[in-house]
Structure 1
Amino acid sequence: MDAVRRGLALAWKALRLEITLYRALGRWLVRRPDVPAGATPIGYSRLVAPMLWLWIFGSAVEVVVLDVVLSRWWTPLRIPLLVLGVWGLVWMLGMLAAYRVRPHLLGEAMLQVRDGIHARVDVPLERIAGVRTVDHELPGLLRSVHVQGEGEGAMLLIGVGSRTNLELVLTGPTTLRTPHGSSTVTRVGLWVDEPREVAEVLRRRRSAPLRRSPRR
């Protein structure tokens, strides 16, 4: 029974991933990034975009070559492999689109850290004591969220291409929700395209008074 539940949970997760990719691709095509009104977008796609474009080009060439070869020598496999190849190509385009249309979001009271379709971590601005440009690496190429260290030295890394280049020093141990559960950390690392500029924006926003809605 547990195996069935795990299988269903995995299938549901895969379906949600597919839907998110196709939505991101649709937003990219119509140029409507997922940025709510009042939020400031912070880009982070420059690191992975060249690599993804290379994979997309290679996959497109592979689809065409396989279709030509199989149409002459092994016709029964032509359609299944063509469908699989096109699906893989669209999947990678959706991944690239997610990096472009789902940037980090800086709001009045919160910094929402994203990583394409994988991660979302909300960091309250009032918990940020300092910002600095520091490089960190995550273990493994596919991991986008990782907690490094323990106790007072625990740091949450939300990487792009297994790297981060901006570090948020928190006012103290802070519990943040991640895709893998809650973690209590004292620092947060993330990747942005312009670390120095973003650091300066965060310093100004952190020191600015919080806007209040006018009383009626």
Structure 2
Amino acid sequence: MLRTAGRLARHEARLFAGLVLWLARRTEGTAGGRAFGYTRGQGATMAGLAFVCVVETVGVSVMLRDMPTAHDVLLVLDVYTVLFVIGLHAACVVRPHVLTDKALRVRYGAHVDLWIPLDAIAAVRRRTRMTHEPADGVLDLAVGSQTSVELELTAPVAHRSFLGGSRQVSTVRLHADDPGGLVRALTPR
């Protein structure tokens, strides 16, 4: 229980660090490699969710204006929720996929950070998928319910979830804003 709480606290810290980097227009972990973004398909959805959270914050504040203690507690929680939603998107923006000379670093915000050695990639193809049924050995990193690049690996790699679970994956499906560019960059290797 304490281990899970610690992991959640670190995850939350990474989200808010992503927010700071996003405001500073910086990226994390892209030095020495070529970055491939994947957030273009989720920006409008996250902005809409943040807007709905702001509207909810205002509505709850108006409804609880005569109950100062409840008003203050829920205002803090609502502001935290708005920052959390913005932080989720910011973490994805500042942590793109990164291709180096030795590996492809596949990421999804603060949730996923998977290093795939280039010699472990058997095949790469541009393949748009809108449905993703859970399957053993497959990691789907969909953005807007869509993946656009599929990697088949020669040997399974370990994927650790942010709560500490681990599983072996031999197929990775991910989204890239420029899937053709990512496939071209990986093909000669």
Q: What CA distance in whole angstroms lies between the structure 2 residues aligned with 1:11 and 1:128?
A: 35
Gap runs ≥5 in structure 1: 1-6, 140-145, 207-216
Secondary structure at the residue paired with 2:127?
coil
Alignment check: 8 A CA contact 2:159 2:169 kept: no
Question: Identity over aligned residues, as a percent?
Answer: 32
* Residue of structure 1 equivalent to 2:156: 175
Q: What CA distance in whole angstroms lies between the structure 2 residues aligned with 1:37 and 1:115?
A: 18
Alignment check: 8 A CA contact 1:135 1:166 kept: yes
* Residue of structure 2 equivalent to 1:157: 140
Higher Rg of the two aligned structures: 1
* Residue of structure 2 equivalent to 1:203: 187
Query: Which of 188, 192, 213 matches 2:172?
Result: 188
Q: Larger RCO: Structure 1 or Structure 2 (Cα < 8 Å, ≥ 6 residues apart)?
A: 2
Per the TM alignment, residue 51 of structure 1 is displaced from its structure 2 partner at its CA by 0.9
* Residue of structure 1 equivalent to 2:84: 91
Q: Does 1:18 align with 2:12?
A: yes
Deviations 1:20-70 (A, max 9, x none): 111101111111110332111110011221111100011112212222332
Secondary structure at the residue paired with 1:35?
coil
Q: Does 1:67 align with 2:61?
A: yes
Per the TM alignment, residue 98 of structure 1 is displaced from its structure 2 partner at its CA by 0.5
Per the TM alignment, residue 192 of structure 1 is displaced from its structure 2 partner at its CA by 0.8
Q: What CA distance in whole angstroms lies between the structure 2 residues aligned with 1:163 and 1:65?
A: 33
* Change in CA separation of 1:38 and 1:82 when aligned onto 2, cut-off 3 Å: same
Q: What CA distance in whole angstroms lies between the structure 2 residues aligned with 1:131 and 1:38?
A: 22
Q: What CA distance in whole angstroms lies between the structure 2 residues aligned with 1:184 and 1:20?
A: 24
* Residue of structure 1 equivalent to 2:74: 81
Per the TM alignment, residue 99 of structure 1 is displaced from its structure 2 partner at its CA by 0.9
* Change in CA separation of 1:156 and 1:76 when aligned onto 2, cut-off 3 Å: closer
Per the TM alignment, residue 18 of structure 1 is displaced from its structure 2 partner at its CA by 1.2
The residue identity in structure 2 corresponding to 1:133 is R
The residue identity in structure 2 corresponding to 1:183 is Q
| TM-score, normalised with respect to structure 1 | 0.78
Per the TM alignment, residue 184 of structure 1 is displaced from its structure 2 partner at its CA by 4.8
Per the TM alignment, residue 162 of structure 1 is displaced from its structure 2 partner at its CA by 4.4
Q: Does 1:106 align with 2:91?
A: no
Alignment check: 8 A CA contact 1:134 1:167 kept: yes
Report the number of matched residues: 184
